[in-house]
Structure 1
Amino acid sequence: MTYCHRQCAAEGYALKGCMWIADLKLDWEGTLHNAGGRYAITHCCCAYPVLSKEATKAARTRWEKFRDSFRKDWGEKFGDWPAGEDASWPGHHLRDLKHGGDPVDPDNILPTPPTIHDLLNKEYPRCYDGLPPWNTVGPDLPYVD
């Protein structure tokens, strides 16, 4: 919550809520020692202005035109873009398009399993409305190895 409060304030917006989207575990083994860490991916629900339906549609169209090349570039860095049995995973925009998220910024897109993507799309409005649980601090360690 502190991170999101600072993020929103730095952009000149009030904080409505904060979501912890993912916690990437980064481990590696060297010749002398092992190391690692975690990288938290959050979404700060700042009081961003809502784009018009036309502007949101235009942003979605930009993403759709960019999607294949983005997945190809992502695959060259990290391996094949994740896919299920029937289709590729959606690319989730961390700052959503409706609230001005950049549709083609690689740092704003995360491959997400379809069921999780649907859940995030359902919960984002609750976060922007300042509703629980997104308006309060959660557990110190939300994930267990």
Structure 2
Amino acid sequence: MKLDWTAVLLMLLAACGSINESSGSLGTKPTPSPGAKPAVKKELPWLMVPGGRMKTTLFYGPWQCRRQFMNQCQMQCASEGSPLMGCVWLADLKFDWEGRLILLPVDVDSGSRYGIWHCCCNYPKLPTDKKEVERKRWDRFRESFREDWSKKFGEWPGDGTKSWPGHHIRDLQHGGNPVDPNNIFPAKPSVHDLYNRAYPACYGGQPPWNTVGPDLPYTDN
């Protein structure tokens, strides 16, 4: 599932609840599934936005896709004429907003969780030379994208002077757009390595990515 940053931002600024909600509703705390484990977590600094301020928190998988995500992948792959091989739930992004409503002069706070998952449809692989062309497009786009992302959602995370990699939700090897802002999000290096190991198994129809997982496999701790 690509991340529509514009939709996320507009919904939060309007204080209108949840979008692509993966694990909770506005005003409620989600209940983790039995056996849930703490997620790798990255909390970004508060960012001033029109009408208030916003904070982005990233919770990282990979996890098995919940039933809702798997069903959407089945429909997506069928519509594209490519059998579904598996599904990887990559991350949850939690957005907190504090400020004042535009129409009513009252202080409010709201939040939304946005699930990011990838449908491993049976896409053909790009030839090596074409994949390298796409990677070079990403190399040229990387810095400007990180700067733009930071202005909207908080400083792009890094370790010391080294920025975290940007993960392409639909990978370049299987036709992902290297410069689509909605196809990229920051990933902790160790988590990015897990993604890179999970994708081949997912495309190969291998467990656990070919079966449905729990609704909420992690805790916020």
Query: TM bucket by the smaller chain?
Result: over 0.9
Partner of 1:137: 212
Give the TM-score of the pair, scaled to structure 1. 0.93
Separation (CA, whole Å) in 2 of partners of 1:32 and 1:6? 41
Cα deviations by residue, 1:7-51 (Å, 9 ceiling, x for unpaired) = 212222110000100111233345465432321100110000100
Greater share of strand: 2
Superposition RMSD in Å: 1.4
User: RCO (CA 8 Å, sep 6+): is it higher in 1 or 2?
Assistant: 2
Q: 2:92 aligns with which of 23, 29, 37?
A: 23
Cα deviations by residue, 1:34-85 (Å, 9 ceiling, x for unpaired) = 4323211001100001000001111101000111111111112122211112
Give the TM-score of the pair, scaled to structure 2. 0.62
Separation (CA, whole Å) in 1 of partners of 2:109 and 2:218? 21
Q: 2:148 aligns with which of 47, 51, 73?
A: 73
Partner of 1:93: 168
Identity score, percent: 60
Partner of 2:22: none
Greater share of helix: 1
Separation (CA, whole Å) in 2 of partners of 1:23 and 1:76? 20
Separation (CA, whole Å) in 1 of partners of 2:218 and 2:113? 11
1:83 matched to 2:158? The reply is: yes
Q: Which of the pair has more CA radius of gyration?
A: 2
Separation (CA, whole Å) in 2 of partners of 1:120 and 1:134? 12
CA shift, 1:90, in A, is 0.1
Partner of 1:43: 118
Where structure 2 has 5 or more consecutive residues not aligned to the other structure, the ranges are 1-69, 100-105
Structure 1 counterpart of 2:185, one-letter code: L
Separation (CA, whole Å) in 2 of partners of 1:79 and 1:34? 18
Secondary structure at the aligned position of 2:85 is classed as strand
In structure 2, do the counterparts of structure 1 residues 33 and 66 end up closer, same or farther at CA, with 3 Å as the change threshold? closer
Question: Which runs of structure 2 are paired with 1:105-124 in the superposition (5 Å)?
Answer: 105-124=180-199
Where structure 1 has 5 or more consecutive residues not aligned to the other structure, the ranges are none
